[in-house]
Amino acid sequence: MTCFPFSFKKTSTISKHNLDNDEDISGIHNVKIYTYKELRKATDDFSQANKIGEGGFGSVYMGRLKGGKLAAIKVLSAESRQGVKEFLTEINVISEIQHENLVKLYGCCVERNNRILVYNYLENNSLSRTLLGGSHNSIYFDWGTRCRICVGVASGLAFLHEEVRPPIIHRDIKASNILLDKDLTPKISDFGLAKLMPANATHVSTRVAGTLGYLAPEYAIGGRLTRKADIYSFGVLLVEIVSGRCNTNSRLPIEEQFILERTWELYERKELVALVDTSLNGEFDAEQACKFLKIGLLCTQESPKCRPSMSSVVKMLTGEMDVNDSTLTKPALISDFMDLKVRKNQESTTMDLKTSSSSYNTFSTSEQQDSTITSAATAQYDHSM
Ligand SMILES: Nc1ncnc2c1ncn2[C@@H]1O[C@H](COP(=O)(O)OP(=O)(O)OP(=O)(O)O)[C@@H](O)[C@H]1O
Ligand SMILES: [Mg+2]
């Protein structure tokens, strides 16, 4: 079990002249602080050539740190910025957590109004680019690799939920936040960041954050945040990994556009195997693949209480626990949720949608995997689930 708080060795001193005001930073100990100059040098002045991605929170650059270590350097965008103390407190917590299936945070930079996070660099990009990227897929994921990825992500999430104290709810489990190292070991990224970032930084902890298509309806609509919201998102991701397609795809016939709807329909017809990625050319264990899809359905049931814990999910995936679908209920369907959101938008509520590169305020049925949603609903953290 990993417990905080905060009695770890100091890796660097934060001098007050580095900060934009005189906030009290006592109690912040374990965060490696990089200077802006150092990171600028590492990224060749944040050059376009070194830019490796752009998300809702800002741009990510590859950089070589002093000593030769490669890093992914995430420069948070202006609207993501928040108070130094709050930022560092969060980083302090995250930097203490280590697990084979979590991205490692090396440290951060908080000079003047810059907020930069420094992570270990992962060679094989994210699942959204390499597995769900359609014709742009650069890697072939055989069945064994997919199984290892599913178990790895589940283990990382079980660790955050059940071993770390206090538990951490990721709030944005999705394919683009699952990065892959050189051996295709999955690493969950951006944990804790959902709490730090969304648009109105002073109220982030009370706002719903996440990505459309992966958001549990009770959290998106009611603002009720529990571990079960992550488990719902994991269920969607699991079905994506087995099927090799994103949760929403407007190019498919209408009845196949939403992956959960399609999975439920095939489950009822006892034809789940039809959902397995055809690019596997039949080279997979059909019984195991259907079992994984059933676990995805268990995780996305409408009632949060019916969803299994992540440690049970790990056991089911590895075969240590049977998958009992005798009382399985219909998933909370994304299409129902989207209907509701469309209405909300039409009524000019505070719902607000943004993508990584542009903002828009109506839902289309185009692929939604990069859409981030925030709403003004008050999130409550319920420890009972
Ligand atoms: N540690 C890392 N190693 C290698 N590449 C990374 C790393 N972190 C991020 N990236 C790359 O940068 C891209 C953007 O990441 P970022 O987390 O900013 O956005 P996102 O996950 O696509 O969306 P969101 O902002 O909703 O999390 C990733 O898709 C990935 O390609
Ligand atoms: Mg991300």
Give the model's pLDDT for residue 257.
84
Residue 79: C-alpha distances to residues 57, 352, 359 (Å) = 8, 14, 13
Band of pLDDT at residue 286, cut at 50, 70 and 90: very high
Give the model's pLDDT for residue 1.
45
Band of pLDDT at residue 367, cut at 50, 70 and 90: very low
- 290 token code pair: 């259907």
- In testing the pocket of ligand 1, which one of 64, 128, 189 has its CB within 8 Å of the most ligand atoms? 189
Q: Which residues 6+ apart lie within 8 Å of 234 measured at CB?
A: 153, 154, 157, 173, 299, 310, 313
pLDDT digit string (tens) for 181-217? Answer: 999 999 999 876 655 433 333 223 335 566 778 888 8
Give the model's pLDDT for residue 193.
62
Q: What is the dihedral of CA 196, 83, 377, 330, to 10 degrees?
A: 10
Half-sphere exposure of 195 (CA within 13 A, CB side): 17
Atom of ligand 1 nearest to the CA of 176: 21
Atom 23, ligand 1: which residue's CA is nearest?
55
Which candidate in 172, 190, 277, 370 is catalytic?
Answer: 172
pLDDT digit string (tens) for 8-59? Answer: 233 344 444 444 444 545 556 677 899 999 999 999 999 999 999 988 778 9
Atom of ligand 1 nearest to the CA of 125: 31
Q: Let me know: does 243 contact 274? Beta carbons within 8 Å.
A: no
Backbone angles phi, psi at 262, to 5 degrees: -65, -40
Band of pLDDT at residue 124, cut at 50, 70 and 90: very high
CA gap 240, 175 in Å, rounded? 8
CATH 1.10.510.10 residue ranges for the chain = 134-381
Atom of ligand 1 nearest to the CA of 123: 4
% of residues, the chain, pLDDT over 70? 71
Residue 356 has pLDDT above 50, yes or no: no
Give the model's pLDDT for residue 229.
92
Residue 102, beta-bridge partner list: 188
Residues 106-125 have a mean pLDDT of: 91
Residues 329-352 have a mean pLDDT of: 52
- 154 token code pair: 């589940």
> Residue 166: is the preceding peptide bond cis (ω within 30°)?
yes
**Residue 123: nearest ligand to its CA?**
1
Give the model's pLDDT for residue 198.
37
Give the model's pLDDT for residue 107.
92
Tell me, yes or no, if 382 is annotated catalytic.
no
* 93-126 core/surface letters (b: 16 or more CB in 10 A; e: else): bbbbbebebbbbbbbbbbbeebbbbbbebbebbb
Residue 7 has pLDDT above 70, yes or no: no
Q: Could you tell me which CATH number the domain at 134-381 has? A: 1.10.510.10
Residue 342 has pLDDT above 70, yes or no: no
Q: 303 alpha carbon to ligand 1 midpoint, in Å?
A: 31
Band of pLDDT at residue 128, cut at 50, 70 and 90: very high
Q: 33 alpha carbon to ligand 1 midpoint, in Å?
A: 21
pLDDT digit string (tens) for 291-313? Answer: 999 999 999 999 999 999 999 99
**Residue 179: nearest ligand to its CA?**
1
Q: 262 alpha carbon to ligand 2 midpoint, in Å?
A: 27
CATH 3.30.200.20 residue ranges for the chain = 2-120
Band of pLDDT at residue 155, cut at 50, 70 and 90: very high
pLDDT digit string (tens) for 49-96? Answer: 999 998 877 899 999 999 999 999 999 877 666 566 667 767 877 888
Question: How far from the centroid of its chain's Cα atoms is residue 98's Cα?
Answer: 17
Instruction: Sort strands 51-55 and 58-64 into parallel, antiparallel or unpaired.
Output: antiparallel
Pocket of ligand 1 (CB under 6 A): 52-57, 60, 72, 74, 103, 119, 121-122, 125-126, 129, 176-177, 179, 189-190, 356, 372
Give the model's pLDDT for residue 3.
40
Atom of ligand 1 nearest to the CA of 211: 26
Give the model's pLDDT for residue 26.
57
Atom 27, ligand 1: which residue's CA is nearest?
55
pLDDT digit string (tens) for 224-241? Answer: 778 999 999 999 999 999
Give the model's pLDDT for residue 91.
81
Q: Would you say 305 is a known binding-site residue?
A: no
Q: Mean pLDDT across the chain, nearest whole number?
A: 78
Any idea which fold 2-120 has? Phosphorylase Kinase; domain 1 (3.30.200)
CA gap 299, 308 in Å, rounded? 6
Q: Which residues 6+ apart lie within 8 Å of 366 measured at CB?
A: 248, 250
107 vs 14, more confident: 107
